Amino acid sequence: MARVLVGVKRVIDYAVKIRVKPDKTGVVTDGVKHSMNPFDEIAIEEAVRMKEKKLAQEVIAISCGPAQAQETLRTALAMGADRGIHVEISGSEYETLQPIHVSKILAKLAKDEKADLIIVGKQAIDDDCNQTAQMTAGLLDWPAGTFCSKIEHGQGELMITREIDGGLEVIKVKTPAVLSADLRLNEPRYATLPNIMKAKKKPIKKLTPKELNVDTTPRIEIISVEDPPVRQAGSIVPDVDTLVEKLKASGHV
């Protein structure tokens, strides 16, 4: 039976219309609604389902970030994770934290916790990097099953259906492995009130990157963050004929 690590990130809620800071150093995060990265909810759900099918013995949720990352861990615990690990990183150190740092933390924890499987979301909806699973697998020399839409469990191996550009692809990977969850892997459950209450009693261990011997020196300097160019307002056409006329006039048809 496997021990599964799941990486969860606290991000600005997907429905929020973000605002760029006037000094162009980043986006406004203070007082803005945050929640668990949607792909990470899918990752947790998959791990919890493994536990329910008795394929996993323990599910450990990990989050790197400031104190509020604990709320995200509590959500993971309420969904069914057994315990949490909070790697505390805040202030400017958090602002320049990159997938390479998170991957090193996950790789170290995978060894410390003797994990058999790491599941993360395919990308975080804030930095849109899509790197952490691939890098963690590289650091551990484990195979990666990226953009998973189906995971079938075999003896010491997993049969994975991946979402690729032209359709789907099936690969077989040996465990231990790192997987990244795509949108269609599953439908995450809602945490029920009794489970939210129970989650409060589940343990969260606090660590620092230093304790894990991970150097978080930024490798990338953010020069500026700006608004994208605004599109010129268009017009509403009254009927199909006008639309066809407009498209012909602009040389599109």
CB of 223 to other proteins, least distance (A): 4
Q: Which of residues 173-192 bind other proteins (CB under 8 A)?
A: 173-174, 177, 182-184
CB of 3 to other proteins, least distance (A): 19
CB of 203 to other proteins, least distance (A): 30
The residue (of 23 and 239) whose beta carbon lies closer to other proteins is 239
237 touches other proteins (CB under 8 A): yes
Torsion of Cα atoms, 45 then 49 then 52 then 53, to 10°: -170
219 touches other proteins (CB under 8 A): yes
Q: Give residue 235's identity as a one-letter amino acid code.
A: S
196 touches other proteins (CB under 8 A): no
Roughly what angle, to the nearest 10 degrees, separates helices 132-140 and 99-112? 50
d(CA 78, CA 121): 18
223 touches other proteins (CB under 8 A): yes
Q: Give residue 203's identity as a one-letter amino acid code.
A: P
95 touches other proteins (CB under 8 A): no
1 touches other proteins (CB under 8 A): no
Burial zone of 99 (CB within 10 Å; 0-12 exposed, 13-18 middle, 19+ buried): buried
- Residue 151: alpha-carbon gap to chain centroid: 17
109 touches other proteins (CB under 8 A): no
Q: Please identify which residue in 54, 91, 111, 165 interacts with other proteins, judged by CB under 8 A.
A: 165
32 touches other proteins (CB under 8 A): no
d(CA 247, CA 53): 56
